[in-house]
Amino acid sequence: MRAKRAEAAAKRMFSASLVALAACGPITGGRLLADPAVLDAIRRYYDAHALEDPACGEPFITRLQRASAHPLAVMGAPTQVVVDYRWEAPARAAGGSPCTGEGRRSFWVLSTSGGPKVTAMSGPSRATRSAP
């Protein structure tokens, strides 16, 4: 219960960071990063797929620190967005301390009629985790 409340609070703080970033205009990379939907799509993709420390449970982003967009020269190709972030995860073992850390990952974001869609992410993911 406590971990769920901490996760919910972290997600609210992350969302507030997105709103603040959007209000300031683009960080780097033009309008892409000024759109809170893009950064929210990145957070949701990370929360659903990322793995940080094998000793930890499923991580979630608690704070976006910096982001930059690197569009590819090919029309219609996803844009690479490099994100520096802070993360938190519950301990995998009962009674253990929560895990925290900082990271940098690339996300590939495609602009679709339904909004931004993350197509891939660099770094370890739960899908590529090797069995114990």
β strands within the chain, DSSP E:
60-70, 79-89, 99-112, 115-121
- What per-residue confidence (pLDDT) applies to 7? 62
Please tell me the pTM assigned to this model: 0.71
**Number of folded domains in the chain?**
1
Residue 128 lies in a domain: no
Q: Is the pLDDT of residue 106 over 90?
A: yes
| CA–CA gap between residue 51 and residue 57 (Å, rounded) | 8
- Supply the range of the domain harboring residue 42: 2-121
Give the CATH number of the domain where residue 114 resides: 3.10.450
Residue 129 lies in a domain: no
Would you state the pLDDT for residue 31?
A: 58
Q: Is residue 126 part of a domain?
A: no
Domain contains 6? yes
Q: CA-CA distance, 9 to 97, in Å (whole number)?
A: 18
Taking only the tens place, the pLDDT of each residue in 113-130 is 898 999 999 999 987 655
Q: What is the mean pLDDT of residues 34-51?
A: 91
Q: Is residue 97 part of a domain?
A: yes
Closest CA to 19 of 41, 6, 35: 35
Encode pLDDT of 6-41 as tens digits.
565 555 554 444 443 333 333 335 556 677 899 899
